[in-house]
Amino acid sequence: MTPTELRGLIRTVPDFPEPGIQFRDITTLIAHGEGFRAAVGHLAKAAQQSGAEAIAGMEARGFIFGAAVAVELGIGFIPVRKPGKLPVPTIGIDYALEYGTDRLEIDPDAIRPGQRISIVDDLIATGGTAVAATRLLRKVGAVVSSAHFVIDLPDLGGATQLREQGVRVDALIDFEGD
Ligand SMILES: O=P(O)(O)OC[C@H]1O[C@H](OP(=O)(O)OP(=O)(O)O)[C@H](O)[C@@H]1O
Ligand SMILES: Nc1ncnc2[nH]cnc12
């Protein structure tokens, strides 16, 4: 399936999780076997072209696509977790979202210094999550070569922010305006 066809599998839910947010929901995409496989295939091809040696995905929706991409490429997956979930000493970073604030943590031993990492997530909005993940991964010595998303919300400027950090960014689908 093409990215244009995949767009039709994404459900838009108005006013979730708060008034004024148009929530772009991937539940309907991942329930569609052919669509899910196609999305993972497109993301994997792009990550491979960036020379990814491992994939990092952000909890929770980034785990769905990131782990599948890692399996497709036969490389490792690094979970970038929400706070208090990892059973070892972590390093973490606080960040702002389109709705609220949160924190990400990683196990510093999960990364080899100089390792080329590609970030995979379902969606980039303000870029708060992806920029925080990039900073965290770089802090432990990773080379964050690229970031791949199913959906970009360009009006919120996240992809631009991430590119300003020197990360190559692409997305399968843009949702502009409403
Ligand atoms: O570009 P940003 O403004 O940072 O927003 C994008 C992030 O928001 C969503 O995750 P969320 O934190 O809602 O968590 P979830 O994956 O657990 O639903 C989405 O999966 C991205 O990770
Ligand atoms: N508008 C949105 N839809 C789905 N996930 C999001 N994460 C941040 N903004 C979002």
Domain extent listing, the chain: 52-173
Return the ligand 1 atom nearest residue 124 CA: 1
Q: Output the pLDDT for position 96.
A: 85
Residue whose CB lies within 8 A of the most ligand 2 atoms, among 153, 161, 173, for a mutation test: 153
Mean pLDDT of the chain: 96
- In this prediction, does ipTM exceed 0.90? yes
Q: What is the CATH number of domain 52-173?
A: 3.40.50.2020
Backbone torsions φ then ψ of 129, nearest 5 degrees? -65, -50
pTM value is 0.97
Percent of the chain with pLDDT over 70: 99
Average pLDDT over residues 11-15: 97
Return the ligand 1 atom nearest residue 122 CA: 20
Taking 70 as the threshold, does the pLDDT of residue 178 lie above it? no
For residues 168 and 51, is the Cβ–Cβ distance under 8 A? no
Rounded distance between C-alpha atoms, residue 141 and residue 126, angstroms: 25
Which residue has the CA at smallest separation from atom 6 of ligand 2?
23
User: For ligand 1, is residue 58 a contact (CB within 6 Å)?
Assistant: yes
pLDDT band at 86 (very low <50, low <70, confident <90, very high): very high
Percent of the chain with pLDDT over 90: 94
Return the ligand 2 atom nearest residue 23 CA: 3
Say which ligand is closest to the CA of 97. 1
